[in-house]
Amino acid sequence: MSAARGNAEDSSAVAVVGGGIAGLTLALALRREGVDCTVFERSPEPAGSGAGLQLAPNATRLLRRLGVADALHAVAVLPRALRLRGWDDDRPLATTALGAACLRTFGAPYYTVHRGQLHHVLREAVGAGRLRTGQRLTAWTEDEDGVCLTFASGARHRAGVMIGADGVHSVVRARMAGDTPVFSGSSVYRGLVPAERLPWAAGEPEIRVWPGPGRHLVCYPVSAGREISFTATVPAAVSGEESWTADGDPAELAAAYRGWNPAAVRLLAAAGPVRRWLLHDREILTDWVTPRVALLGDAAHPMLPFLAQGANQAVEDAVTLAVCLARTGGDDAPAALRRYRDLRLPRTALIQRGARGATRFLHRPGPAGPRASGPPPDPRGPAGLRAMSPLYGYDAEEVAEKAMREPVPWRAVSRPPVS
Ligand SMILES: Cc1cc2nc3c(=O)[nH]c(=O)nc-3n(C[C@H](O)[C@H](O)[C@H](O)COP(=O)(O)OP(=O)(O)OC[C@H]3O[C@@H](n4cnc5c(N)ncnc54)[C@H](O)[C@@H]3O)c2cc1C
C-alpha cells in the first residue's frame, strides 16, 4: 500500500489510533508486510496497567511469527495447568493441563504475563519511529482516497486508511456505531503480590480458579514468576456517574471474600494497592468498517474477561488485517477492510457471547454458605485441552492467507450474516 495523497511529510498508508496491544501488534504485522504505518497514542508514556493477562496459543503462535517470542518468553510464565478449586476448602476440583501439553497439542505456548511487560515487549519491537505519543485523536474526515486525522495537539495527518484501535471507550466507534457500554453487574479487583509472600502459589506455576457463590477468584504467576497476579470478581451496582476504574478498597475486597478458603484469604490480604474495574462490554456490531476506516481489538468487540480472550482476539485481528491490506496491494483498501471484517466479525461475536455466558460456570448460585454438592463444570470442558481447539487451535494468519487467495465471496460486498 502507498501513502494517500496530501502532505507527503506527514502521511502514511495506515494511521493506527491507539498504541495498546491491538495497535502495536498491527504495527508489527504491517511492518512485516512492508506496509507503511504510524501509530498515534494519546498517553505521553504508554505503559499498560499493572495486572496479569493470559495469552493462549491462538495469539502466541502469531506473536512468535512477528518476532517477539524470545522477549515474551523472558518475561512470561508457562503455567503447567489450570486448576479449578473449591472456594471454601481449596480442594482441586478439575484440571486442564497446559505447559508441555499445550505446546504438544497446539504447537505454541500458553503464557501468563504482566500486561505492562507485554506492552513493553511490543513497543520495543515496533520502535520509537513508528509510534507518536501524546497524540489524542479528536476529529477526522474521510473521503474516497483516505482519511485526514486531527489531534488535540493541533497536529494533522493524512492516511490511506485509519484504524480505530482505541479501546473500549473508542472515539472512532462512537462516531461509527453511536452505541453505549453495557454494564455486566460485576466489578473486578486486580492486584499483584510478591511471590515470596505466597510460597504455595510460587511453587508449581498454575492458574488457580476458585468459582464461588456469585463471584470468582483467579490467580497466576507473572513477571517471570516474581509476582502473583489476581482478579477477584464481585457483584456490583453502578450509578451513571461512577467511573469505570478506581482505586479498590482492600477492606471491601476482604469482606467480599470472607469465609473463603485460607489460601484465597491470604492472597487477598497480601496484596498491595488494588484497582477496581466496573466490567462493561458492548452489544455486538453488525458492521465495523467504512470504506477507509475500521475498528480493531476492544474498539471493535469489547468482551467480558471471563474467557481471557480480549487481547488474544486483538492479536488475531491485527494479523488478519495486515494480511488483508497487504494482499490487496493497496489498490482497493475498502475491499481489504471488508474482507477483514468478514473474517473477524463472526468469530469475535461468538467469543463475545461465550464470555457473557461464562459466569454460568464461574459463579455458583446462592449466597456464600455451605458448599453445594459436587464440583462445578470445568469451563474448559470435560475433554480438557482438546475441547479448546476452536479457540486455541485457530490460526488467524493461515485463515486470512487462504481467504485472500480465494475469489471474493458474495458476503464481502454486503454485511456479514451476524444477528
Ligand atoms: C479484568 C480484566 C482481565 C483481562 N484479562 C485478559 C486475559 O487474561 N487475556 C486476554 O486476552 N484479555 C484479557 N483482558 C482484555 C484485554 O485487556 C483487552 O482485550 C485488551 O487490552 C484490548 O487491547 P486494545 O489494544 O484493543 O485496547 P486498549 O488496551 O484499551 O488500548 C487502547 C489504546 O488506545 C489509546 N487511545 C484511546 N483513545 C485514544 C485517542 N482518542 N487517541 C489516541 N489514542 C487513544 C489508549 O490510551 C490505549 O493505549 C482483560 C480485561 C480486563 C478488564
pLDDT tens-digit profile of 72-122? 999 999 999 999 999 999 999 999 999 999 999 999 999 999 999 999 999
Residue of 72, 9, 38, 51 whose CA lies nearest to 315 = 72
Would residue 219 count as lying in a domain? Answer: no
Q: What is the pLDDT of residue 219?
A: 96
Nearest Cα to Cα of residue 42 among 174, 172, 178: 172
Flag whether 140 is in a domain: yes
CA atoms of 206 and 292, how far apart (whole Å): 44
- Rounded to whole angstroms, the Cα distance separating 100 from 85 reads 22
Residue 352, domain extent: 8-181+282-413
Domain assignment present for 271: no
Distance of alpha carbon 350 from alpha carbon 391, whole angstroms = 11
Using one digit for the tens of pLDDT, what is the confidence trace for 164-218? 999 999 999 999 999 988 899 999 999 999 999 988 776 789 999 999 998 999 9
Q: Which three cell numbers stand for residue 374?
A: 459436587
Does some domain include residue 268?
A: no
**Distance (Å) from CA 374 to ligand 1 centroid:** 36
Residues having CB within 6 Å of any atom of ligand 1 = 17-23, 40-43, 46, 53-54, 136-137, 165-167, 171, 188, 190, 231, 277, 297-298, 305, 308-312, 314
Give the closest residue (by CA) to ligand 1 atom 15: 310
Task: Please write the tens of the pLDDT for every residue from 250-296.
Answer: 899 999 999 999 999 999 999 888 999 889 899 999 999 999 999 99
Q: Tens digit of pLDDT for each residue in 110-163?
A: 999 999 999 999 999 999 899 999 999 999 999 999 999 999 999 999 999 999
130 part of a folded domain: yes
Flag whether 212 is in a domain.
no
Report the nearest-CA residue for atom 37 of ligand 1: 166
The beta strands (E) that lie in 56-114 are given as: 81-85, 92-97, 111-114
Pick from 21, 274, 307 the residue to mutate for probing ligand 1's pocket: most ligand atoms within 8 Å of its CB: 21
How many angstroms is it from 7 CA to the middle of ligand 1? 31
Beta strands in 174-315 (DSSP E): 182-194, 206-213, 215-222, 227-235, 245-247, 275-281, 293-295
Q: Which of 166, 173, 276, 295 most suits a substitution to test ligand 1, by most atoms within 8 Å of the C-beta?
A: 166
Query: What CATH number should be reported for the domain holding residue 100?
Result: 3.50.50.60
User: Ligand 1 centre from 145 Cα, in Å?
Assistant: 29
Residue 256 lies in a domain: no
289 φψ region: left (φ > 0), alpha (ψ -120 to 50), beta (else) = beta
Structural domains in the chain (count): 1
Q: Which residues contact 195 (CB under 8 A, 6 or more apart)?
A: 201, 202, 221, 225, 226, 227, 228
